[in-house]
Amino acid sequence: MGKIETTLNDKVLQKISIRLIFGILVVLGLLGVFAKFADSLLENELGDFDGVLSGLVHGLQVPWLTEIMITVTHVGNTSTYLVVVPIFLAILLFKKLKAESFILLTTILGAWGLNGALKFSFQRARPDIEHLIEVGGYSFPSGHAMVSMAAYGIMGYLIIQYMKRQGRSPWLVGVLVGLLIFLIGISRVYLHVHYPSDIIAGFSAGAVWLIMNIYALNLLQRRGKRTKKVMERNESI
């Protein structure tokens, strides 16, 4: 029995190690992307890149699509999070998922705080063309891109975890969440309030923060399971 438990523990540790190494490599890659755009911004080398991509997105503008993009961008507004997040949090607390509730808040609030700090550090002005919606503040990195990646990313991850425990396929949730985050980012360029480099940098920074919090959540969940097993063993003695 002891040998079987040791073998299972070794397999679990091996699986965790592989995931950790993969996660570190992804984070390093994302940090590299952010650093590249940040450096190019400081060196004033983003003009051609942003000009070409902005031109392609702006070329799609038609009245009906503009209305859709305005709606999509509102999904990434603070006012929307103030409605969606408390409801999601209430559901987690009702199910007594304390670790998940804690990580939900740290992911979203942390993303807001980090984005504000980064914007203040770079102080990039927004595109000097007519904005199709009212905005304020600095441009780099995009708050909508960064926070939506973190906020909808962690909510999507928690839903996927729940569906897996129920034995249901979560791929559709993953696709829809990914599509929503992508469209929020694109809407900011479409509406003339961000450069494409702002969006990519925001996605990169948001993804790094999201991955870090998902890893923290997994640690908390594993510790919770170990604690539960110890308590069950003590009760059975």
Check: CB of residue 204 under 8 Å from CB of residue 30: yes
* Candidate from 7-16, 74-83, 118-127, 153-162 with smallest mean pLDDT: 7-16
Question: Collapsing DSSP states into helix, strand and coil, what is residue 45?
Answer: coil
pLDDT for residue 17 is more than 90: no
pLDDT for residue 9 is more than 70: no
* Candidate from 66-70, 95-99, 116-120, 219-223 with smallest mean pLDDT: 219-223
Omega before 127 cis (within 30°)? no
Cα gap 61→167, rounded to integer Å: 42
**Rg of the chain over all Cα atoms, to the nearest angstrom:** 21
pLDDT for residue 213 is more than 80: yes
Query: What pLDDT is recorded for position 1?
Result: 46
Q: DSSP string spanning 123-137?
A: -PPPPSS--SS---S
Which of 103, 89, 110, 95 is CA-nearest to residue 221? 103
Cα gap 117→89, rounded to integer Å: 25
Check: CB of residue 135 under 8 Å from CB of residue 189: no
* Count of structural domains, the chain: 1
What is the CA angle 177-205-187, rounded to 5? Answer: 50
Which of 165, 147, 153 is CA-nearest to residue 97? 165
Query: What pLDDT is recorded for position 181?
Result: 97
pTM over 0.85: yes
Cα gap 198→30, rounded to integer Å: 14
Query: What pLDDT is recorded for position 12?
Result: 54
Q: What is the mean pLDDT of the chain?
A: 90
pLDDT tens track for 74-105: 999 999 999 999 999 999 999 999 999 999 99
pLDDT for residue 132 is more than 70: yes
Q: For residue 119, give its domain range.
A: 2-236
Query: What pLDDT is recorded for position 230?
Result: 56
